[in-house]
Amino acid sequence: MPLSKILVLAGDGIGPEIVAEAVKVLNALRAEGAIDVALEEGLVGGAAYDAAGDPLPEETLEAARVADAILLGAVGGPKWEPLPISKRPEKGLLGLRAGLGLFANLRPAILYPQLADASTLKPEVVSGLDIMIVRELTGGIYFGQPRGVETLPTGERRGFNTLVYTESEVERICRVAFEIAMKRSRRVCSVDKANVLECTELWREVATRTARDYPEIELSHLYVDNAAMQLVRAPKQFDVMVTTNMFGDILSDCAAMLTGSIGMLPSASLNASGQGMYEPIHGSAPDIAGRGVANPLATILSVAMMLRYSLGAPAAADRIEGAVSKVLDQGLRTADILSAGMSEVGTGEIGDAVVAAL
Ligand code: NAD
């Protein structure tokens, strides 16, 4: 494996604590020669605003552009909420996504058998759950123009947004989903609202057309309302789901919560050249920041995704995922996933245990 450059952006709140544990794991693999990586640190979010007056300093964006992959903790917190939107920590995240063209958001929802009782659903409904949601991340209604709030001649205000997708945008996200499905059970469910929205009627047509290049893929379609219902009724029917930016935003949070453990779920956001940003799905958890109790496993599992999707090191990724499973087998738990009979440990102990289990 050639030397890969990783930009580490710890961010705010629990970000620095959880990222430190992920870096421990990277360094352990590097020390034994399993991976060849160079780490560089940068500022993003509230931390960047405090240091440089900007949640995404030009220096950080430039470092991100030349990195092979980015590891991000989380951004945000009450301290920065009074700031104008353009200066808020979340702008740093959106700026990275847009600046790097990270159009494909991969969000696995995996229920570790050791944590089956963490879900709010019955164990038999969720045990063995392993879904990959592929969400379009740089288009759709979150970016469409025109948008805004206008005042009508009557004095009443009218808010409007535009749902827009080009054929090429739909095709490229479907290809990402199909390629991932080829390495899994080869089933993809495309989620739209084709019965009401012309834009997603086109989405369905392009998904169907693109699937012809993947004869081994079994493609199905669901309307988003039905997909939401099916996710909580019988989630194990799904393998890979592919959908628009907004539908994916909502469905991936729903799927994540089926597993009951926000501190366990990683994510990847990829661009056309395979460069990616990897981060836990949770936020900066200001309520527990600085106490050494945050669960670092989502961030550690984000490193596994990074090795698999951007750095071409699937064996090292498998080892990290296996080590996390071993640590759960040992009964070690941070407070968020604690259950009867298990031992409560802190952020650093979990990181050390993963390194030992590698
Ligand atoms: P959150 O995900 O930070 O926290 C929700 C709850 O889950 C909290 O009780 C928190 O303590 C707990 N939690 C989250 N991660 C945990 C972990 N690793 N271990 C143990 N417990 C964990 O969501 P929120 O409270 O709505 O948002 C807090 C801040 O994070 C806000 O400023 C928000 O804008 C920001 N945020 C950032 C991102 C991101 O950086 N990608 C995502 C979501 C929210």
pLDDT score recorded for residue 195: 97
Ligand 1 atom at shortest distance from the alpha carbon of 14: 18
The active-site residue out of 142, 223, 239, 326 is: 142
Q: How confident is the model at residue 116 (pLDDT cuts 50, 70, 90)?
A: confident
pLDDT score recorded for residue 141: 96
Structure tokens at 203: 């989405």
CA of 344 to the centre of ligand 1 (A): 20
Query: What are the tens digits of pLDDT across the range 289-306?
Result: 999 999 999 999 999 999
- Contact indicator for 22, 71 with CB cutoff of 8 Å: yes
Average confidence (pLDDT) over 321-335: 95
d(CA 77, CA 319): 33
- Contact indicator for 199, 163 with CB cutoff of 8 Å: yes
pLDDT score recorded for residue 1: 60
pLDDT score recorded for residue 77: 97
Ligand 1 neighbours, Cβ below 6 Å, are 14, 18, 74-77, 90, 93, 262-263, 279, 282-288, 294-295, 298, 334, 336
pLDDT score recorded for residue 259: 86
d(CA 29, CA 323): 12
Q: Could you tell me whether strands 187-192 and 240-243 are parallel, antiparallel, or unpaired per DSSP bridges?
A: parallel
Buried/exposed 319-332: b ≥16 CB within 10 Å, e otherwise: bbbebbeebbeeeb
Query: What are the tens digits of pLDDT across the range 48-74?
Result: 999 999 999 999 999 999 999 999 999
Average confidence (pLDDT) over 209-217: 98
Residue with CA nearest ligand 1 atom 40: 74
pTM greater than 0.95: no
Angle at 186 between CA 181 and CA 187, to 5 degrees: 95
